A = this chain, B = another copy of it.
């Protein structure tokens, strides 16, 4: 996980604060008034930084501190910024400049942190120029199935194993996953293959349970705006894979990442997985514009899920390659030892042969775009 010293005033760790903000009438009129970062001079001292944070506190503002190799930045968040504050801060020792932020998100913005965030998952680096491939079945179905899946994806060169133990399903009458048993089987697969595991958590009260087994906590598309869940995974400090909602704008997606990071957890991996449009020939419409734009606007790693993005296994290879060419930092794909017998998503799962054939192509395209 990346280095980020964060100043969180006591209040923000108090889960009830956000619900009962004390001064009811301090709500700012306009979004733009609340967005500012303070860029410190190279070589500014700790005392300089503390003085800035102290000044913010006087105005009931919070400061999120990001110490980078090239610059140290204080993001000002949380309440109305008085019109005079900007000038005031620019007179402080060690302050180089203050910058208005034009987007509603702050901590995820490249304006605040220009360099790529690299999320470290048991030594696997996500972001920063490498290409990560996460593969495995939609759902954990049985010990045999998940162990076989883990072996085939590792042999083909995958970096991590995916598998659902808790499955969100549109109908209450369909298979919802094996629950904790599924988590145990995933852990067993990790023990044997060494692959870190990525699995979904659906509700705040399950976070502690899932976090005991998983290496990356996945937030599904349906939960992208489940704010209590975002804050709960934020509090774990663990890597979080945040899928874009079915009809979420890029801005809303980044704001959801902001919810996680605002809890002091910078380890967010964004995941584009297709949006809902009028087209019905494919399950969703992959939005690779969003990948390229997110890479430009935020420092977070962005990966793509072409299995859900297309809904058809035979479209997964071309769209996987397209995602890498568009600048994605990796892929998450459904691979099943026997897709025709999968309990869910069989039609969009690659079989082991097709997955193995795809992997060298992914490397070749990555080399072509980065070379």
Residues of chain A whose beta carbon lies under 8 Å from any beta carbon of chain B: 16, 18-21, 24-25, 27, 31, 34, 77-79, 104-106, 141-142, 166, 168-173, 175-181, 202-205, 222-223, 225-229, 246-247, 249-252, 255-256, 258-259, 262, 274-282, 285-293, 295-296, 309-310, 312, 314-315, 318-319, 321-327, 343, 361, 364-365, 367-369, 371
25 A-B pairs within 8 Å (CB atoms) are namely A16-B179, A18-B176, A20-B178, A24-B178, A25-B142, A168-B225, A172-B227, A222-B225, A223-B226, A226-B226, A246-B247, A250-B279, A274-B289, A276-B278, A277-B287, A279-B290, A280-B280, A285-B285, A288-B288, A288-B322, A289-B310, A321-B368, A322-B322, A324-B325, A325-B325
List the number of copies, as a whole number.
4
Q: With the chains together, A166 CA to B226 CA distance in Å?
A: 13
Chain B CB count within 10 A is highest, among A173, A292, A364, A365, for A173
Q: With the chains together, A292 CA to B172 CA distance in Å?
A: 24
- Given A228-B203, A319-B289, A364-B368, does the pair A172, B296 have CB atoms closer than 8 Å? no
| Contact status A21-B369, CB under 8 Å | no
Name A283's closest neighbour in chain B (CB-CB).
B289
Give the contacting residue for A275; candidates B279, B292, B323, B343; CB below 8 A: B279
Name A344's closest neighbour in chain B (CB-CB).
B27
Extra contacts besides A16-B179, A19-B179, A277-B287 (17): CB < 8 Å:
A19-B166, A20-B179, A20-B180, A21-B176, A25-B142, A77-B173, A203-B226, A249-B278, A249-B279, A251-B281, A275-B278, A277-B278, A289-B310, A289-B319, A295-B318, A321-B326, A368-B368
Chain B CB count within 10 A is highest, among A223, A246, A361, for A246
Chain B CB count within 10 A is highest, among A181, A202, A315, for A315
Query: Which residues of B have CB within 8 Å of A77?
Result: 173
| Contact status A19-B203, CB under 8 Å | no
| Contact status A278-B247, CB under 8 Å | yes
- Given A175-B21, A250-B279, A289-B286, does the pair A369, B170 have CB atoms closer than 8 Å? no
Give the contacting residue for A343; candidates B27, B222, B296; CB below 8 A: B27
| Contact status A173-B78, CB under 8 Å | yes
| Contact status A225-B327, CB under 8 Å | no
| Contact status A318-B327, CB under 8 Å | yes
Q: Across chains A and B, which 10 residue pairs bring their CB atoms closest together, nearest first?
A: A19-B179, A247-B247, A325-B325, A364-B368, A322-B326, A321-B325, A292-B318, A322-B322, A203-B228, A222-B225
Give the contacting residue for A286; candidates B20, B256, B278, B288; CB below 8 A: B288
| Contact status A168-B227, CB under 8 Å | yes
Q: With the chains together, A19 CA to B323 CA distance in Å?
A: 34
| Contact status A258-B24, CB under 8 Å | no
Q: How near does chain B come to A258, taking the closest CB pair, in angstroms?
A: 6
- Given A20-B180, A277-B277, does the pair A170, B319 have CB atoms closer than 8 Å? no
Q: With the chains together, A258 CA to B247 CA distance in Å?
A: 23
Name A35's closest neighbour in chain B (CB-CB).
B173
Query: Which residues of B have CB within 8 Å of A369?
Result: 321, 361, 364-365
Query: Which residues of B have CB within 8 Å of A259?
Result: 172
Q: With the chains together, A217 CA to B281 CA distance in Å?
A: 28
